Amino acid sequence: MVSISKRDTLKAMAVLYSLTNETRLKIIELLLRRYRIGMTPSAIAKVLNLSLPTVTKHLEILEEAGIVNYIYTRGGTPSKLYKITDLYITVQIDLSKFVKAFNRAELERLAANYIQKKMDTNLPKDITIEDIKETLKTDQDTAYVVYEYINEKKKDLIVKPISSMILDIMEKKNKKSISIDELKEIKADEFWIESACKYIQSKGIYTYRDRELVRVEI
């Protein structure tokens, strides 16, 4: 049985949201018929007469909600084989937190505001609910859902922006390599700076080792 705790407000919201779309319900119904076997996105698209990108997007939403998961098929070209995670889902909702999380735009604004404020001084490695509450001068429930949101979106909210800052610094200083010690102007814990360096490395062109980001000559 899939169980969503009342502490996981955003997950509960994702489950409810995923079940409010007719196409996603049709995909769930189809996968229930093949509960033990599963189906590939292309097979689902064919049966439901939908485009593959449309099916893929809906499956991503269902996967994020924990309603479906996948394994890779064996033999030939690997393909994702989707199955229903479980026939039963229980969702506990803390209404006081749920209503705070419902306005996604406001949640995004608060999260971005918190990160900007901390980047003006020093963004800590361990972000806490209490620090969010104090920094934003808000209530406990709001601080809680902002904390959840930041943890869910930390790559987009923290890692990617710091990555851009690092590359901008290298460009301005006309450097092909830069060490962590040379990035002190970025007011964030080294954990985030290193995470950004590793993210840059994952995109190619750069390598990161021994606390140094180096552009690879092609």
Task: Name the residue with tokens 């769930």.
Answer: 28
Domain span at 133: 95-152
> What are the DSSP E strand ranges found in the chain?
2-4, 68-72, 80-84, 89-91, 177-179, 206-209, 212-215
Q: What is the pLDDT of residues 9-35, one digit of tens each?
A: 888 888 998 999 999 999 999 999 999
Q: What is the pLDDT of residues 137-194, one digit of tens each?
A: 999 999 999 999 999 999 999 999 999 999 999 999 999 999 999 998 999 999 999 9
Domain end marker among 63, 91, 119: 91
Q: Are residues 50 and 81 in the same domain?
A: yes
CA–CA dist 69, 60 (Å, integer): 9
Q: What is the pLDDT of residues 77-123, one digit of tens each?
A: 788 999 999 999 999 988 888 888 878 889 999 999 999 999 999 99
**Number of compact structural domains in the chain:** 3
Asked if residues 115 and 150 have their Cβ atoms less than 8 Å apart, the reply is yes
Domain end marker among 75, 91, 107: 91
Q: Are residues 170 and 139 in the same domain?
A: no
CATH code of 209's domain? 1.10.10
Domain end marker among 73, 91, 109: 91
Q: Are residues 86 and 10 in the same domain?
A: yes
| Percent of the residues in the chain that have a pLDDT greater than 90, as a whole number | 78
Residue 74 confidence (pLDDT) above 80: no
